[in-house]
Structure 1
Amino acid sequence: MGKRILVVDDAAFMRMMIKNIVTKNGYEVAGEAENGKQAVEMYVELKPDVVTMDITMPEMDGIEAVKAIRAVDPNANIIMCSAMGQQAMVMDAIQAGARDFVVKPFQQDRLLQAIERVLSRSRK
């Protein structure tokens, strides 16, 4: 069975794009959330192998969601997806426990590399 990914983004088209990339490359989409609060609830319920997390979202932003998920599972594999110009937020995300980040708009290969990298680290 392929590794399971939880896709978190408030923009439906971004979720669709990420889902298309990951499913085409042998991953399974465990679920999708449109804000950080949903992401935390779904993480606990679905226990995915990887989470792709937007930073700027309503209700709970990605950084708060990373902290909440890592509080539940210190080994969670979370990849932040942020727009250009959010470098300070990316640093906050890494400090909060994100394992990697990709800058939007991202290339398919960059997202897949990030997923592979966090999965290979978690196998060790």
Structure 2
Amino acid sequence: MVVDDSRIVQIQMEKILSDTDFEIVACCGSGEEALKKYEEYMPDVVTMDI
């Protein structure tokens, strides 16, 4: 799951991870949205712009 308030950074992360074995299950623009989606998808890895 990619968490970043910048859509441009989200797209860059999608490109970086596209040639790997990782599957992006969700992109979130806020921490609140990420918490909701985390419960739904239970991803193994979360990238964040903290």
TM-score by length of 1: 0.39
Q: How many residues align?
A: 50
Unmatched 5+ residue regions in structure 1? 1-5, 56-124
* More RCO (CA 8 Å, sep 6+): 2
Unmatched 5+ residue regions in structure 2? none
**Partner of residue 41 from structure 2, selected from 46, 59, 63:** 46
Tell me the CA shift for residue 26 of structure 1.
2.1
**Partner of residue 10 from structure 1, selected from 5, 23, 33:** 5
Give the aligned partner of residue 36 of structure 1. Answer: 31
Asked whether 1:26 is paired with 2:6, we answer: no
Q: Which is greater in Rg? A: 1
Tell me the CA shift for residue 27 of structure 1.
1.1
Tell me the CA shift for residue 25 of structure 1.
1.5
Q: Percent sequence identity over matched residues?
A: 36
Give the root-mean-square deviation of aligned CA atoms.
Answer: 0.8
**Counterpart-to-counterpart distance in 1, 2:31 and 2:24:** 17
- Structure 1 residue ranges (4+ consecutive) displaced by more than 4 angstroms after TM superposition: none
TM-score by length of 2: 0.92
Judging by fraction of residues, say which structure has more strand.
1
Provide Cα deviations, 1:92-119, integer angstroms capped at 9, x if missing partner. Answer: xxxxxxxxxxxxxxxxxxxxxxxxxxxx
